[in-house]
A and B are shown apart, each in its own frame.
Chain A
Amino acid sequence: MDNWPLLSTIIFLPLLGAGLLTLIRGRENDIALAAKSTALWVALSNFALTLGLWYSFDRQQEGFQFVESKSWIASSGISYSVGVDGLSLFFVVLASFLTVLCILASWRSITKRVRDFMAAFLVLESLSIGAFLALDTILFYLFFEGVLLPMFYIIGIWGGERRIYAAFKFFLYTFLGSVLMLLSIISLTWIGGTTYIPELMNTDFSIGLQRVLWLGFFVSFAVKTPMWPFHTWLPDAHVEAPTAGSVMLAGLLLKMGGYGFLRFCLPILPDASQFYAPLVFSLSAIAVVYASLVALVQEDIKKLIAYSSVAHMGFVTAGLFANNATALSGAVMQMISHGLVSAALFLCVGVLYDRAKTREIKAFRAIVQPMPAYARLMLVFTLASIGLPGTSGFIGEILTLLGVFQASPATAFALALGMILGAGYMLHLYRRVFFGPPAAMPDKLYDLQTRENFVLISLVLPVVWIGLYPAPLLNIITPDILPIIATAGH
């Protein structure tokens, strides 16, 4: 089994599953049930495969593992190359994990066109895992861009009232960013003479060229991450997307932006990254403070969490460009943690929305009484979002803060301010929704069911585990961060 193409299996199994779904025949209810269970089994087996990948990942070895490379378009040197390293491993695990949760979370709440919905999620899983594993610039672009399509459908078909506006905004913003990246990728390919990312990492580009190409990548990843001022699509997309769509968006798609910086900007264009670091620092500082302030005054729970995502991703971008190992591993940890925590928060909002059909903060009061278990779990995630010690959020934020302080104390100050504001808006939200005089609509609200409980608790475990004992992750991430720092140093 040594030669078994494990990574390709992980990438294409969900796609195959989506194909299987189209074969289901029968009455509408049967189709829905069969589609849900097929999708769940496919997602579960893929999750098992990614866990297997994690298990067999050799942490002693630096660089890419499980590399598969096949010639694809020989005349242009484009190849189908995939491989995994410490930076991409956890995003792959995260992707397959979140897909399972999304399918479970949508079990009841999606009633129209269930089969298409499940297929869209499996396709989304395939494409996003592909983006994290691609080792060829063009292949990366295909996956990175392809993710837009299922997400466009997910927002547009199963979204809220202004879904069409949100879907178009999401699509056009990200597409605009990525065509500019495409031009950079093409130039990189042509001047570097290869599309193979590890080779590009070892190629030296002149500083003038780096600065131009970097901007193309930057726009794309900044839109995706999203960084201030490119973030305006995010609140709309989140508010209109169905719960599971928001989970994938916040948990996975935003990470592609950060991952892109990590895979392209930092190792391939190191000099430009250093040159533009002050720009990134300023934008991140503004993002953290601005988004936190905006979050404070939101009336819609989902929008509040969306803005908190912008703030948390500000930590990530600042950490990525701080050019030291502490900040970089902090940024990666922060991405993983945010992937879990924001996913959990959106799932929590989804639980409320399923019951009350509203997300207005004002509509809820004192729901700790009808929903105590829910309140407990939501508290864990609120605290993790604030970055309380003992949760995964703390690890990411503290490492980032320490690292960024070495590079730019002023930015670190802004980040710290953001942490305080973060505690402000999250606790303010928690107080308004869960406490206070008894609510007007207690009969509609009932506590978590087994399925919801299972989904949320399975998110609590990694959040707390990473918070208490992050070493297994850091040991895998750090070795692959060191070469990035090294390239920047010379």
Chain B
Amino acid sequence: MGVEIVLATSALSLLLIGLALPAEIATRVVSHTAVILLLSMVAVLLWAQGQLPLTFTSDYDELTSLMLTKHFRFDAFALYVKILILFASACVLFIGLGFIGSEPMRKSLYRFEYVVIILFATLGMCLMVSAQSLLALYVGLELQSLALYIAAAMQRDNLRSSEAGLKYFMLGALSSGLLLFGFSLLYGSAESIEFAGILASLQSPSHPAPTMLLVGMVLTLAAIAFKISAVPFHMWTPDVYEGAPSSIVAFLATASKIAALALLMRLLVEAFLPLLDDWRPIISILAIASMFLGALATIPQTNIKRFIAYSAIAHIGIILIGFASATPDSMRAVLFYLCVYMTMSLGLFAFVLAMRSSGEVTERIQDLAGLAHSDAKAALALSVLMFSMAGLPPFVGFFAKFYIFLAALRTELVLIAVCGALASVISAFYYIRIVKIMYFDEAQGNLVLQGVGNRWILYASAIAVVGLTLAPSLLLERGEQAIRVLFAS
């Protein structure tokens, strides 16, 4: 619980500090403080991860008087995911700083509230991944969603941003409605809002799962599919990604996705595992549809943010293969994929946020033309990220896909694995198209990268992508620990 308490108090105090400080320096001070705070929390949690016994769980018994017990749990799984979320938030705040400070975003975005909103969203995510009951899950999910609705619409003087915020809010509200309706059915059938209670009601061998519970589960899955933008619940993604401020999109694409996927993992394993045969087809269809639609729809994109939106859908498809396999191995593969995906995405967003063409922020893919001449190092780093996202060896993106496919073949989901492989070939096309534009096309614009910080994040991400290939065990072992806890319950 420590993480959440620290986050909540610091978000609130930063809000006060921001008000007290003179407007010129408030944003800078608040955001730097937040970055340092988040990073030091990551460091502490990483240390704790090394110290904790492998099967560590805690039901917050010491906090019984304060909290509704058994609604949250702090275990190795939550720890693992929280490290990712906090790290992603810190990086997003850091790489977004130059972006929100540049014209024409400066007027509406360069505010310390922006930082506080991201902190609240992070808090919501941390609650989500620790949730042990439907109620706690909903509270966490809505906290992050509300914060993100505001963030998406934050650029008030921009029509597209407002539109994106509204779209996101409307569809998000719809999915929340679905979720609540699903929860009420689950509660009505299982007579418990705790994951453990639902699991217990499913494990009683006397009768098959009641229809009401199945409908509740399907509605819940649909609502979460909306959050992770799996096809056919993906409609909002490209528009919101294109319209919302890029720094918020970076947050949506990394931390928010990680949290929602971790939530899905917890829910499926801790509450619905006995219904595997019922939800596996659902997840499989979501996976296949997302892979192919994501892969095909990315091809004609000319805006880099729409490109990222559709390619993210394709990645979600691959990740969902891991869910469909539903073994400890496959879930470990999913966690590994999340780490790798986060690493690559942060690098990519560091690049996108720094893209400037004749002083203006640009999002056109074609502006990358000739980057290999004007900025060889950045072009090389970006192409490493692209190759890795395409899952090409020898980069770590390959291993991420490899473990997902390995787990799928072990559970004999051959068809899905073959679909995944074919979709990877299609996705390779548009990733190498970016490389082609940078290396083979004649320069058109004069793209420059603004900010040294973003450049270093880009390099660091590319180096990590190469370095993790040499020692993927580092991440895999810690994931092992997290997954063991999840399946033990």
B441 and chain A: residue at smallest CB distance: A164
Interface segment, one of B192-200, B218-226, B276-284, B404-412: B404-412
B387 and chain A: residue at smallest CB distance: A149
Q: How many positions in chain B have a CB within 8 Å of any CB in the partner chain?
A: 30
Cβ–Cβ contact A183 & B417, under 8 A:
yes
Cβ–Cβ contact B436 & A146, under 8 A:
no
Cβ–Cβ contact A152 & B477, under 8 A:
no
Contacts A73-B476, A74-B473, A190-B409 given: A168-B432 contact, CB under 8 Å? yes
Q: Is A439 interfacial (CB-CB < 8 Å)?
A: no
Contacts A149-B392, A182-B405, A183-B405 given: A190-B410 contact, CB under 8 Å? yes
A interface, over-half SS: helix
Q: What's the minimum C-beta distance from A19 to chain B, rounded to whole angstroms? A: 12
Interface residues of B in 420-460 (CB under 8 A from A): 421-422, 424-425, 428-429, 432, 435-436, 439-440
* A179 to B418 alpha-carbon distance, docked (Å): 9
Chain B residues near A183 (CB, 8 Å)?
Answer: 405, 409, 417-418, 421
B432 and chain A: residue at smallest CB distance: A171
Interface residues of A in 137-155 (CB under 8 A from B): 138, 141-143, 145-146, 148-149, 152-153
Q: What's the minimum C-beta distance from B177 to chain A, rounded to whole angstroms? A: 40
B439 and chain A: residue at smallest CB distance: A157
Cβ–Cβ contact B402 & A168, under 8 A:
no
A156 and chain B: residue at smallest CB distance: B440
Q: How many A-B residue pairs have CB under 8 A?
A: 77
* A176 to B436 alpha-carbon distance, docked (Å): 19
Cβ–Cβ contact B393 & A179, under 8 A:
no
A171 and chain B: residue at smallest CB distance: B432
Q: CB < 8 Å: which of A138, A157, A186 contacts B409?
A: A186
Contacts A142-B393, A146-B394 given: A179-B436 contact, CB under 8 Å? no
Q: What's the minimum C-beta distance from A332 to chain B, rounded to whole angstroms? A: 26
Chain B residues near A279 (CB, 8 Å)?
Answer: none
Q: CB < 8 Å: which of B424, B429, B440, B473 contacts A179?
A: B424
Chain B residues near A180 (CB, 8 Å)?
Answer: 418, 421
B interface, over-half SS: helix
* A187 to B410 alpha-carbon distance, docked (Å): 8
Cβ–Cβ contact B393 & A164, under 8 A:
no
Contacts A75-B480, A142-B393, A153-B439 given: A175-B409 contact, CB under 8 Å? no
Contacts A75-B473, A145-B392 given: A186-B402 contact, CB under 8 Å? yes
Contacts A73-B472, A171-B432, A182-B405 given: A164-B440 contact, CB under 8 Å? yes
Q: Is A163 interfacial (CB-CB < 8 Å)?
A: yes
Chain B residues near A187 (CB, 8 Å)?
Answer: 409
Q: Is A20 interfacial (CB-CB < 8 Å)?
A: no
Cβ–Cβ contact B392 & A157, under 8 A:
no
Contacts A75-B477, A145-B392 given: A172-B428 contact, CB under 8 Å? yes
Chain B residues near A145 (CB, 8 Å)?
Answer: 392-393, 398
Q: What's the minimum C-beta distance from B416 to chain A, rounded to whole angstroms? A: 11
B477 and chain A: residue at smallest CB distance: A75
Cβ–Cβ contact A73 & B473, under 8 A:
yes
* A167 to B435 alpha-carbon distance, docked (Å): 12
* A74 to B394 alpha-carbon distance, docked (Å): 18
Cβ–Cβ contact A186 & B405, under 8 A:
yes
Chain B residues near A138 (CB, 8 Å)?
Answer: 402
Chain B residues near A75 (CB, 8 Å)?
Answer: 473, 476-477, 480
Q: What's the minimum C-beta distance from A189 to chain B, rounded to whole angstroms? A: 8
Chain A residues near B435 (CB, 8 Å)?
Answer: 152
Cβ–Cβ contact A175 & B428, under 8 A:
yes
Q: What's the minimum C-beta distance from A21 to chain B, rounded to whole angstroms? A: 12
A179 and chain B: residue at smallest CB distance: B421
Chain B residues near A146 (CB, 8 Å)?
Answer: 392-394
Q: How many positions in chain A have a CB within 8 Å of any CB in the partner chain?
A: 32
* A182 to B394 alpha-carbon distance, docked (Å): 13
Interface residues of B in 363-411 (CB under 8 A from A): 387, 392-394, 398-399, 402-403, 405-406, 409-410
* A142 to B391 alpha-carbon distance, docked (Å): 11
Chain A residues near B387 (CB, 8 Å)?
Answer: 149
Cβ–Cβ contact B436 & A167, under 8 A:
yes
* A153 to B384 alpha-carbon distance, docked (Å): 13
Q: What's the minimum C-beta distance from B401 to chain A, rounded to whole angstroms? A: 9
Q: What's the minimum C-beta distance from A157 to chain B, rounded to whole angstroms? A: 6
Chain A residues near B403 (CB, 8 Å)?
Answer: 76
Q: What's the minimum C-beta distance from B371 to chain A, rounded to whole angstroms? A: 13
Chain B residues near A156 (CB, 8 Å)?
Answer: 436, 439-440
* A190 to B440 alpha-carbon distance, docked (Å): 40
Interface residues of B in 257-305 (CB under 8 A from A): none
* A422 to B398 alpha-carbon distance, docked (Å): 42
* A226 to B343 alpha-carbon distance, docked (Å): 37
Interface residues of A in 147-205 (CB under 8 A from B): 148-149, 152-153, 156-157, 163-164, 167-168, 171-172, 175-176, 179-180, 182-183, 186-187, 189-190
Q: What's the minimum C-beta distance from A242 to chain B, rounded to whole angstroms? A: 14
Contacts A75-B473, A75-B480, A167-B436 given: A172-B392 contact, CB under 8 Å? no
Most buried by A among B406, B422, B472: B406
* A306 to B477 alpha-carbon distance, docked (Å): 48
* A148 to B428 alpha-carbon distance, docked (Å): 12
A148 and chain B: residue at smallest CB distance: B392
* A304 to B215 alpha-carbon distance, docked (Å): 64
Given A73-B399, A143-B394, A190-B409, 12 more A-B residue pairs with CB atoms under 8 Å apart are A142-B398, A145-B392, A146-B392, A148-B392, A163-B440, A167-B440, A168-B432, A171-B432, A172-B429, A176-B422, A179-B422, A183-B418
Task: Please list 8 pairs of residues, one from A and one from B, whose beta carbons are closer than 8 Å in the complex, sorted by A's number.
Answer: A75-B477, A76-B476, A152-B435, A168-B432, A182-B402, A187-B409, A189-B406, A190-B406
The 4 closest A-B pairs by CB, nearest first: A179-B421, A142-B393, A145-B393, A156-B440
